[in-house]
Structure 1
Amino acid sequence: MVLVLSMVSVLTGCSSTEPSGTDSQKTANEKGYAHPESIVTAQELKEMIDNDEVVAVDFRDAKLPGGYIPGAVKIARKDIATEKNGVPGMIADKEQIEKVLGNAGIKNDDTVVIYDDKNELWAARLWWVMKVYGHEDVRLLDGGLDAWKAAGYDTEASAKEAEAAEYKAKEANKDLIADLELIKKSYDNENLLVLDTRSEKEWNDGHIPGAAWIEWTNALKEDGTFKSAEELKNIYEGKGVTADKEAIMPHCKSAVRSAHTFFVLTQLLGYDNVKNYDGSWLEYSKSGEKIVK
């Protein structure tokens, strides 16, 4: 399973009934997360949908047919990204995000739950984008679409046709973003830590000087749900990724896998010093800066 998850990470960027008490049904409180309000189980999402308390967002590949959680709206991955200084896949500007969220029928005060079918890899990227632009209540579905299906819930053939709404984003929160200049400052500052979340092969092919390496999949259990806070703490602190750093800067190839790790560190472990390196390896590898092999 770890190998399968690693293959997914390189490329990116049948439901079964589980017995009662499995990890996919454990709540965020039961797992000891610092911010349990940022994640929901399939059962919790089903109740929220039944009570009309949520906007569910499908953030899977736009070409995939069917498999929509009932009532979910669709947002395409390409619509939240742009090219900046020759680097593709960067976070889109405020006006573009306002347009995308508004077209999806999302309002500023909505509770939003995002899901995908890649262990919340892409969902975490949209979650991070929404946080950068100040959306207050946005959450992830623990285990993603697989957890929904495993709970025995139905899916629909198509997304909901959203009624456009007016959405007003805040100015981008730069405290959640790392840039190349900050990465360069980490070379001789032990309180600035670069965290590589790519695969082992990518890491061995070349990495940023002084970086730590923890592949994003290490945060997941075999069923695709997140590990408990205690397990996660042991993983990250064991590699020197500690809350006392001045800044922790996760990266991958295009800041998708690192957005997943950003979610883990900030929401599940409660770190407040994490900045996703949006340019990631696509920018760094072309910058002329030193690459360690």
Structure 2
Amino acid sequence: MLKPKNLLTLILVLALVVGAAGCTTTSNEQPQSQEEPKQEQSQEASKDQSEDMGYVNSESLVEAEELKDMIDKGEVKVVDFRDAKLPGGYIPGAVKISRGDISAKVNDVSGMIAPKEQIEKVLGEAGITNEDKVVIYDADKELWASRLWWVMKVYGHEDVRLLNGGLDAWEAAGFETEATADKAEAVTYTAKDADNSLIADLDMIKKSFDDASYFVLDTRSEEEWKDGRIPGAVWVEWTNALNKDGRYKSADELRRIYEEAGITKDKTAIMPHCKSAVRSAHTLFVLTELLGYENVRNYDGSWLEYEKSGEEIEK
């Protein structure tokens, strides 16, 4: 017979063993019961994130988790618009379009928007149809992706969006990339005639010299701005619209930045430019899609054209 002291010791040992077993079961089961709701909440939060930022057309930006869901459901065509020399880094299923494919030399100015027939060929060879939902990404804070977005908008593509934060955001979300782009099956793409309400030309820039309702917005670097600028232009570098992680600032922050520079919706035309209308396409995206401006035209000739024009340069 066990002595009372030994019996008490045995009872305590048995209690500890049962308690440990119970803890083990709880620790194994608890994360399983919480994991799925947490993941679902994360996906829902990512979808609502752009709306929470107060953007007018929040659907024009896609979060990484949302894009992953679109890809899994086969709802999207993804376009990689990074530097053609970069190895790997392709979002699964992404097709490659090269930067030079969407530009042309016009009146001795390089980097101008390509003609309609060229864009039809490029998009068709990428397997994109007129009805496709298209999401574009790059590795340059949506800089080049914005240029392709603008080109597709000029030629009438209805549903084209940007990946907020670009490839960095995709990788930060923990999603894998592939070594090569997808090999698309060519289709027929039919572009609309160019929407000239999205394009500014030199004649419109010259109107700004005497008409304050024509507003020239310089999106280049401070060094470029100081080196020479279009008379009367206002400077807001394109990067001012972004946070350090390459994602866009909130609508309230953006509105304050541009309105303090005098860039208001009542202008007849707001004409952003840079050197070759790439950075300015980024600013056009911000003003039209995130802030809801309706009177923004990308000056396609930009500084390359203006510098050759013989018009006055202010310093």
Match 1:69 to one of 80, 91, 95: 91
Counterpart for residue 16 of structure 1:
none
Residue correspondence of structure 1 range 37-186 to structure 2 within 5 A: 37-186=59-208
Q: How far apart are 1:37 and its partner, in Å?
A: 1.5
Count of equivalent residues: 273
Q: How far apart are 1:36 and its partner, in Å?
A: 1.0
Matched letter for residue 136 of structure 1: E
Three-state SS of the structure 1 residue aligned to 2:145 is: helix
Counterpart for residue 284 of structure 1:
306
Three-state SS of the structure 1 residue aligned to 2:71 is: helix
Q: How far apart are 1:160 and its partner, in Å?
A: 0.2
Distance in 2 (alpha carbons) for counterparts of 1:212 and 1:26: 34
Distance in 2 (alpha carbons) for counterparts of 1:27 and 1:138: 19
Distance in 2 (alpha carbons) for counterparts of 1:127 and 1:290: 32
| Long gaps (5+) in structure 1 | 1-19
Counterpart for residue 22 of structure 2:
none
Match 2:224 to one of 181, 184, 202: 202
Q: How far apart are 1:69 and its partner, in Å?
A: 0.3
Greater CA drift, 25-34 or 146-155: 25-34
Counterpart for residue 220 of structure 1:
242
Counterpart for residue 254 of structure 1:
276
Three-state SS of the structure 2 residue aligned to 1:29 is: helix
Matched letter for residue 105 of structure 1: G
Distance in 2 (alpha carbons) for counterparts of 1:199 and 1:256: 13
Given that 2:47 and 2:66 are in contact with CA atoms closer than 8 Å, whether structure 1 keeps it comes out as no
Given that 2:81 and 2:96 are in contact with CA atoms closer than 8 Å, whether structure 1 keeps it comes out as yes
**CA offset digits 1:181-222 (Å, max 9, x no partner):** 000000111111000000000000000011010000000001
| Long gaps (5+) in structure 2 | 1-41
**CA offset digits 1:48-74 (Å, max 9, x no partner):** 001100000000001111000000000
Distance in 2 (alpha carbons) for counterparts of 1:264 and 1:84: 27
Three-state SS of the structure 1 residue aligned to 2:153 is: helix
Q: How far apart are 1:135 and its partner, in Å?
A: 0.0
Three-state SS of the structure 2 residue aligned to 1:27 is: helix
Q: Which has the higher helix share?
A: 2
Distance in 1 (alpha carbons) for counterparts of 2:256 and 2:246: 19
Matched letter for residue 212 of structure 2: E
Matched letter for residue 244 of structure 1: D
Query: How much identity, in percent, do the aligned residues show?
Result: 70
Distance in 2 (alpha carbons) for counterparts of 1:164 and 1:147: 29
Given that 2:165 and 2:247 are in contact with CA atoms closer than 8 Å, whether structure 1 keeps it comes out as yes
Counterpart for residue 11 of structure 1:
none
Distance in 2 (alpha carbons) for counterparts of 1:42 and 1:194: 34
Find out whether 1:269 has 2:294 as its counterpart.
no
Q: How far apart are 1:32 and its partner, in Å?
A: 0.7
Given that 2:135 and 2:163 are in contact with CA atoms closer than 8 Å, whether structure 1 keeps it comes out as yes
Distance in 2 (alpha carbons) for counterparts of 1:53 and 1:27: 20
Match 1:236 to one of 258, 263, 266: 258
Matched letter for residue 243 of structure 2: K
Q: How far apart are 1:27 and its partner, in Å?
A: 2.0
Q: How far apart are 1:174 and its partner, in Å?
A: 0.5
Given that 2:46 and 2:66 are in contact with CA atoms closer than 8 Å, whether structure 1 keeps it comes out as no
**CA offset digits 1:126-145 (Å, max 9, x no partner):** 00000000000000000000
Distance in 2 (alpha carbons) for counterparts of 1:244 and 1:153: 43
**CA offset digits 1:161-182 (Å, max 9, x no partner):** 0000110000000010000000
Given that 1:27 and 1:40 are in contact with CA atoms closer than 8 Å, whether structure 2 keeps it comes out as no
Given that 1:26 and 1:41 are in contact with CA atoms closer than 8 Å, whether structure 2 keeps it comes out as no
Matched letter for residue 290 of structure 1: E
Higher relative contact order (CA 8 A, sep 6+): 1
